[in-house]
A and B are shown apart, each in its own frame.
Chain A
Amino acid sequence: MRSFADGIDRMWQTLVQMANDQFGSPPFRRLLNTKFTRQRAQHYSIQMAYYVRNRRDCWGYVQGSAPLDVKRLIWEHEQDELIGKKDEGKDDHITLAVKEGAVLGLRAEAFDDTPVLEGGITCFYSWLHLAQRPWLEAIASSAILEIRNSAELIKGGSLSRHIAEKFERELGIPMKKQINNAEHVVMDVEHAHLLMRVARKYATTEAAQTAIIKGARESLIIDRVYRGHLADMLQALP
């Protein structure tokens, strides 16, 4: 009979492998192989701000269904995302996205006036659906997206880092001016460990570990679909 620690470690390795595998999938490769122009980068930034808003929706639902101590972890996580840390001079992540947009020549209003990508709407509802599943599946579906964005866990660099390097290489915008991408490159390393902290206490059965894997796997499917839609959008722009 396998030990609890073995099960948790195996589950964690599976999650990290799944997150790494995203980058070999056709939609991710298509997205990362599409060259950025200024206009493409502007639209990408706006759609990513909608993505960040959807994350806030989903984490709220996950917080609602999770046990009390996990609610507290999520509440802390949402401080960076939703509120920022004013005493450390850190903006919330929506404000960061809007400020980064200015580097690309975007006005703040563009973030409200530009419609959400149709494929984005579909994916956002799908993620909301996962966020309202039983809580272990729900938390895994949200947390896996931060594992996928962890420079520590993804070989070759997280999604934010890949995109930031493309902005630097293809548009000549240095990383330090990409305040939103730069923040996520750092923060998601820390945030990626939230799921493991929760799993050590609550994923004590094979069924619980299976639920975590299921939530993560389904979220990564939606993630691939979403990145495919973003690639389509970019390729349709000059």
Chain B
Amino acid sequence: MSIVSELTATLDQMVNDQFESLEFKHLFSVPLTPERGRFYMIQNALYTANRRDCWGYVQGSAPLEVKRVIWQHESDELVNDPRANMDHYTLTVKQGEVLGLKPDDFEKAEVPAMVRACFYAWHHIAIRSHWLKAYASSHMLERRNNGQIVKGGGMSFRMGKKFENELGINLRKMISLDLHAVADTEHSDNISEMFERYVKTPEDRELVLQGARDCMAIDRAYRGALAYYMERLN
């Protein structure tokens, strides 16, 4: 087994394990209400904005060829995804309409304390780490959303299904979650290809694993935080 095959198998196991963690199980166990659904949607938009920060920082530190791949990736996310004919942040805001949210609700949203801590932690990895570690960290959140890797579906798909089952909102109307269930499969495949070119030594592999492990820990803390705040809403 090549170093990259072994690495990607480990990464695949890690993203599947996320869904068995206490924090993920907790989040999925909290019944959705319209108010909790609105909270989740707003937080999802803030999370999307944080992803744009982190990918920008990673673009700053990565080699030129990788910068180009990230730039292309950010085309869908930041500027326009032809599948939706809008960028992903706008898509998330538009998705909020199904639960009565207005753009202003997103603009004025507060980042809760535990969520803020997670966002800063992701920033820290993206700004301060070796580029392979930073890159792996941002990549893992899309790998965790890749339905071809995560058995039972990625995060967006499962959340979309939860909205459908518990609030009666058809997955097709959850336009952002629905699109991400597809887009992140493609994104995570494109980004993952770079490992083939740049992971050559055990030290390279360890950098990727460090980034992946740290990111998954923050992701668990983030999902746990969302569950905590949602439980306190009606």
Q: Is the Cβ of B52 less than 8 Å from the Cβ of A68? A: yes
User: If A72-B79, A132-B127 touch, does A83 touch B57 (CB 8 Å cutoff)?
Assistant: no
Q: Is the Cβ of B78 less than 8 Å from the Cβ of A64? A: no
Q: Is the Cβ of A58 less than 8 Å from the Cβ of B60? A: yes
Q: Mark A56-80, 1 if CB is under 8 A from B, else 0.
A: 1111111111101001101110110
Assembled-state Cα–Cα distance A138/B57 (Å)? 13
Between A and B, how many residue pairs show CB distances below 8 Å?
Answer: 69
B172 is an interface residue with CB less than 8 A from chain A: no
CB-nearest residue of chain B relative to A52? B64
Assembled-state Cα–Cα distance A68/B126 (Å)? 17
On chain B, the residues within 8 Å of A60 by CB distance are 56-62, 67
A82 is an interface residue with CB less than 8 A from chain B: yes
Q: Quick one: which of B68, B71, B75, B89 contacts A68, CB cutoff 8 A?
A: B89
* Interface residue total, chain B, C-beta cutoff 8 A: 25
A231 is an interface residue with CB less than 8 A from chain B: no
Determine the interface band of chain A, counting residues with CB < 8 A from chain B.
20 to 34
Assembled-state Cα–Cα distance A132/B127 (Å)? 8
Assembled-state Cα–Cα distance A128/B60 (Å)? 9
Q: Is the Cβ of B57 less than 8 Å from the Cβ of A71? A: no
Q: Is the Cβ of B60 less than 8 Å from the Cβ of A131? A: yes
A53 is an interface residue with CB less than 8 A from chain B: yes
Q: Is the Cβ of A61 less than 8 Å from the Cβ of B60? A: yes
Q: Is the Cβ of B61 less than 8 Å from the Cβ of A72? A: no
On chain B, the residues within 8 Å of A132 by CB distance are 127
CB-nearest residue of chain B relative to A63? B56
B74 is an interface residue with CB less than 8 A from chain A: yes
Using CB atoms and an 8 Å cutoff, list the residues of chain B in contact with chain A: 49, 52-62, 64, 67-68, 71-72, 74-75, 78-79, 87, 89, 126-127
Using CB atoms and an 8 Å cutoff, list the residues of chain A in contact with chain B: 53, 56-66, 68, 71-72, 74-76, 78-79, 82-83, 94, 128, 131-132
Q: List 29 A-B contacts (CB under 8 A).
A: A53-B64, A57-B61, A58-B60, A60-B56, A60-B57, A60-B58, A60-B59, A60-B61, A60-B62, A61-B60, A61-B61, A62-B56, A62-B60, A63-B56, A64-B58, A64-B59, A64-B60, A68-B49, A68-B78, A68-B89, A72-B79, A75-B74, A76-B79, A79-B71, A82-B64, A83-B68, A83-B71, A83-B72, A94-B64
Across the A-B interface, give the 3 residue pairs with the lowest CB-CB distance, nearest first: A60-B60, A64-B56, A60-B59
